[in-house]
């Protein structure tokens, strides 16, 4: 069975909503070396052959990444090649190669996807989808890239403390930029 991995950029106070544009530890300073963060993301990508997204996050990514012709991080190439699964009842034409729209019952669709042969399934962003996956107890691991930022407002990963699953810390990896990767397995 494949693992379902939730990967999120998150603030110290639990916010994962990117509308404030907070997840750039370098700010306008292009001199901050983020090669260690990029290496961790490449390692995660190598372990996954499926990306699961909600419609809004998918459309945001589709509108940005395919146009990146000078991307040296490898993200554009990975996103072009990985199997992408989009949960949506309204999306008609995904218009991005290797994309399948999941229209059925969410829990059944994800259980079937997890039962298929393959590597990890990663989901990122997609706040409503991730909350549904948490509530259905379908998440196997959380990879939280914690940024040294406190916003005090915004949508949080665990909006309701009663939803929080029991977690077991398996890795802490600090980066030069001040970001810390926290990896948790569900207990």
Q: What are the DSSP calls for 71-92, one per residue?
A: --SSHHHHHHHSEEEEE-SS--
Residue that the structure tokens 């949506």 belong to: 88
pLDDT in tens, 125-143: 899 999 999 989 999 999 9
The residue written with tokens 């603030």 in the block is: 11
- 86-140: pLDDT as tens digits: 999 999 889 999 999 999 899 999 999 999 999 999 999 899 999 999 989 999 9
pLDDT band of 35, cuts 50, 70, 90: confident
Q: How many CB atoms lie within 10 A of CB 124?
A: 19
Interatomic CA distance for residues 118 and 55, integer angstroms: 23
CATH architecture assignment, domain 4-19+34-186: 3-Layer(aba) Sandwich (3.40)
Is it the case that residue 22 has pLDDT exceeding 70?
Answer: no
**CA distances (Å), origin 1, targets 28, 89, 184:** 43, 26, 18
């Amino acid at each position: 069975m494949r693992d379902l991995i939730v990967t999120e950029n998150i603030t110290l106070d639990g916010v994962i909503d990117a509308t404030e544009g907070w997840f750039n530890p370098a700010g306008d300073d292009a001199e901050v070396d983020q090669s260690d963060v990029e290496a961790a993301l490449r390692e995660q990508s190598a372990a996954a052959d499926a990306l699961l997204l909600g419609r809004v996050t998918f459309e945001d990514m589709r509108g940005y990444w395919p146009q990146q012709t000078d991307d040296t991080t490898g993200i554009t190439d990975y996103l072009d090649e990985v199997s992408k699964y989009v949960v949506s009842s309204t999306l008609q034409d995904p218009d991005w190669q290797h994309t399948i729209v999941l229209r059925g019952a969410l829990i059944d669709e994800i259980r079937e996807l997890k039962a298929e042969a393959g590597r990890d399934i990663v989901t990122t962003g997609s706040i409503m989808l991730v909350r549904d996956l948490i509530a259905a107890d379908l998440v196997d691991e959380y990879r939280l890239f914690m940024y040294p930022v406190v916003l005090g407002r915004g949508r949080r990963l665990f909006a309701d403390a009663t939803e929080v699953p029991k977690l077991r810390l398996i890795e802490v990896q600090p980066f030069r930029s001040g970001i810390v990767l926290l990896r948790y397995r569900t207990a």
